[in-house]
Amino acid sequence: MEVRDCDVKMGRLNIKNVSRIFTKKEDGSRTEALHDISFDVQDGEFICLLGPSGCGKTTLLRIIAGLETMTSGEITLSGVPITGPDPKRGMVFQQYSLFPWRTVIDNVTFGLEMQGIKKDEARRQVEKYLELVGLGQFKNSYPHELSGGMQQRAAIARAFANEPEILLMDEPFGALDAQTRNTLQDELLKIWEQKQVTFLFVTHSVDEAVFLSDRLIVMTSRPGRIKEIVKVELPRPRSRTSPEVNRLRDRVLKLLKEERFSR
């Protein structure tokens, strides 16, 4: 197995020289969250963003989603500059963000309804996504009737229902127990292989990043910069405990440890 830094050609998502500075209204003090971030994401890639707490991973994801603005830089999807939210960029949050008064199927159809698609037609369109995430028989249930893992499946189905070009995921399994988390990782990879959607996935877990990704974007402590881009040249399906996985995990842990002690 060879693990190396990877330079790639221009891809579906292009992030160029992105910085983000927050300014407090009270005293005008400034905090730089991101500094000069540049990388590309290719069609069908599974990319994980990994770094110390507070390094700006979620901020970067929210900028790509169009939920926050950048201070400087440029981001394009398929050559089109990102200036705000768009169904082409699906977002899954750590908290499930389901409407408690809507059933599973009505939660999943919400985005389509906002696009002006009639409710009955939207319901027909999302049936396949509910089956894809294993919630077909729970479509008429309410969120409080589901486990945490099932609620996150519903959130993933809702993101897929808009048929995005890229799916942005902000620690979607962080609140789940280890067994459920591993199960959903396996299921997410199956969906990724079937749908061939591009993924940009934020995580604090080195194990999760190594298991899921084609490349790891390792970030520095705040202000977040790119410390290293590591290509994961491991065949799938991957063993979570193979010697190759362990060696790569150790390498990434050392990169993160360097950041912890550089503060």
> Quick one: average pLDDT of 231-244?
92
pTM of the model as a whole: 0.88
Give the pair of three-digit tokens for residue 68. Answer: 């926050």
Mean pLDDT value of segment 194-205:
91
Work out the pLDDT band at 160, boundaries 50, 70, 90: confident
d(CA 202, CA 200): 7
- pLDDT higher than threshold 70 for residue 8: no
The closest alpha carbon to 66, from 83, 49, 88, belongs to 83
Q: How many other C-beta atoms are found inside a 10 Å radius of the C-beta of residue 29?
A: 9
The percentage of the chain sitting over the pLDDT mark of 90, rounded to a whole number, equals 58
Residue 9 reports pLDDT greater than 50: no
Under the banding of pLDDT at 50, 70 and 90, the label for residue 67 is very high
pLDDT above 70: residue 221: yes
Listed range (48-62, 107-121, 210-224) with the worst mean pLDDT: 107-121
Residue 237 has which token pair?
A: 């399906």
Percentage of the chain beyond pLDDT 70 is 94
The residue extents of the domains of the chain are 1-82+194-263
DSSP 100: T
β-sheet bridge partners, residue 17: none
Strand order, beta sheet including 30-41: 30-41, 13-23, 72-77, 80-81
pLDDT band at residue 11 under the 50/70/90 scheme: low
Q: What is the dihedral of CA 21, 169, 195, 106, to 10 degrees?
A: -110
Residue 5, pLDDT above cutoff 70: no
- The C-alpha atoms of residue 40 and residue 53 are separated, in whole angstroms, by 23
Contact 34, 56 (CB under 8 A): yes
**Nearest to 111, CA basis, from 139, 86, 84, 145:** 86
pLDDT in tens, 37-66: 999 999 999 999 999 988 999 999 999 999
**Cβ contacts of 104 within 8 Å, gap of 6 or more:** 130, 135, 138, 139, 140, 141, 142, 143, 146, 154
Question: What is residue 261's predicted lDDT score, i.e. its pLDDT?
Answer: 62
Q: What is the model's pLDDT at position 106?
A: 93
Helix (H) or strand (E) holding 168: strand 166-170
**Superfamily of domain 1-82+194-263 in the CATH hierarchy:** P-loop containing nucleotide triphosphate hydrolases (3.40.50.300)
